[in-house]
Amino acid sequence: MIDDVRLAPDELEAAGIRTVIVATPDLQGRLVGRRIPVEGFGRVVANGVDICTCAWAWDIDQGLELIDQNRFALCGMHNGVPDVTLLPDLDTLRPAAWLEGVAICLADPVDVHTHEPMPLSPRVILKQELARLRDLGLTPLAGTELEFYLFRNDPRELRRSGFRDLDPTTLTPSDFMIHEGNLYEPFFQRLRSDLRASGILVEAAQSEWGLGQWEMTFEYGDPLEMADRHALYKLAVRDTAARAGMSATFMARPLNDQPGSSCHVHVSFVDDEGTALFWDDSDPDHLSPRMRSAIAGALEHAPALMAWYAPTVNSYRRSNSTDVAGSGRTWGFDNRTTTVRVVGHSPQALRFEFRLPGADTNPYFALTGILASARDGMRTGAELGDPVRGSAYDLPGDGAMPADPRQAGALFADSAFVQEMLTPELISHQRILLDHEWSTFMSRVTDWDLHRYFDRI
């Protein structure tokens, strides 16, 4: 976090803070928690604040079926749907500058009685992977690029209408076009200013090719801070859009005939002395053996980790397309058709961009998966194949990649690599949710079904 916006608990009231949000990511990466009057925050710092474990057990729509059916060890009728305690991480205490008089502090869920970290927490899982890397003398650096669609529709009215008659903020493809961005500069200027005041530095922003699509990239740095910024950014975008009478979506692909929204993740590593580990002066392409093995690991484990990179049915509308959304286990130099794109021309800038995750990914899980895969590749000295020089979409399809959440869940559960990283309970929990996502989708009749079959079959 930017040091000049960092808050201490005893500074809150003098800074005009009246409410502190204590929040942690759920399994979708959404922030859940409670609002604390500022005068009560000291008690929460000392003791934490309890919330229900159902936040990690219901589905994305807060359906209670799986809880009622006692499908999870964590939370169900069998154990009374218990609480966990959120312990604030005071290093994250900052203004939520887009909300008047509000600060936000991210937290980690712990057992109410033992105060042991809750293993299922995405933030806890990422911290555990970072600890493994530190033990190996590796310091990862990461950055995310996040796309979203912005519509000129009030969010409440849009939901009431069934999300029909969407009015995109741009009406023509406008990738990198300055004029379209100028029309919405007052909105984005306010958003960027509030993000800066909240300790979230935007590196660059632009209009995108999709109608109503926009992108922001964030300052490169510590992966945990990056995931925290990412979650807070999504919250700020939604809040700021709603206040302006507009609606934002981070669906992987919200519109037919329009490109999906990505979450490209950039990764590199340095050692304990800060030396870049991906650069090699003696290599014609400057790729060190460690970088080649890290990329090979990221690609090798991509099929099993699509459960994290593509967690919804809608994710596969994007990943199964040819919308430069990654293509199997491929890599190339500055090649947007491949899953891994190598970019950068100096020791500190050389990195790989992982292009599979969509905007709907949980950033804590995505970063954990990519970093753990890179670590494993470097550990085993995984061999990297040849780069793709043309379009990766001209190659035969990669049959190892899952095509829907149920397939992704099966690969996730069967992966020896995932089994080394997570406990059986955690793997089972996530597979149940993925299977539920697919079965819920398959149980519904959609507009597509009606238009295709109603009077034609």
Place of tokens 């200013």: 193
CA-to-CA distance for 105 and 326, rounded, in angstroms? 34
Asked if pLDDT for residue 2 goes beyond 80, the answer is no
Name the domain boundary from 401, 419, 446. 401
Q: Indicate whether 163 and 280 sit together in one domain.
A: yes
Q: Indicate whether 88 and 137 sit together in one domain.
A: no
Sequence-distant (6+) residues with CB within 8 A of 100 are none
Q: Indicate whether 65 and 142 sit together in one domain.
A: no
Residue at 402: amino acid letter: P
What tens digit of pLDDT does each residue of 21-56 get?
999 999 999 999 999 999 999 999 999 999 999 999
Asked if pLDDT for residue 376 goes beyond 90, the answer is yes
CATH of the domain at 291: 3.30.590.10
Residue 149 lies in a domain: yes
DSSP string, 342-403: EE-SSTTT-EEEE---BTTS-HHHHHHHHHHHHHHHHHHTPPP-PPP-S-GGGSPP-TTS-S
Name the domain boundary from 57, 78, 112. 112
Q: Indicate whether 84 and 157 sit together in one domain.
A: no
Q: Are 287 and 280 in contact (CB under 8 A)?
A: yes
Provide the domain limits for residue 99.
3-112
Q: Indicate whether 60 and 23 sit together in one domain.
A: yes
Asked if pLDDT for residue 432 goes beyond 80, the answer is yes
CA-to-CA distance for 257 and 321, rounded, in angstroms? 11
CA-to-CA distance for 374 and 290, rounded, in angstroms? 9
What tens digit of pLDDT does each residue of 288-307 get?
999 999 999 999 999 999 99
Q: Into how many domains does the chain fold?
A: 2
Residue 374 lies in a domain: yes
Q: Indicate whether 89 and 189 sit together in one domain.
A: no
What tens digit of pLDDT does each residue of 138-181 get?
999 999 999 999 999 999 999 999 999 999 999 999 888 898 88
CATH of the domain at 18: 3.10.20.70
What tens digit of pLDDT does each residue of 75-117 get?
999 999 999 999 999 999 999 999 999 999 999 999 999 999 9
Residue 416 lies in a domain: no
Q: Indicate whether 11 and 49 sit together in one domain.
A: yes
Q: Indicate whether 290 and 195 sit together in one domain.
A: yes
CA-to-CA distance for 266 and 188, rounded, in angstroms? 24
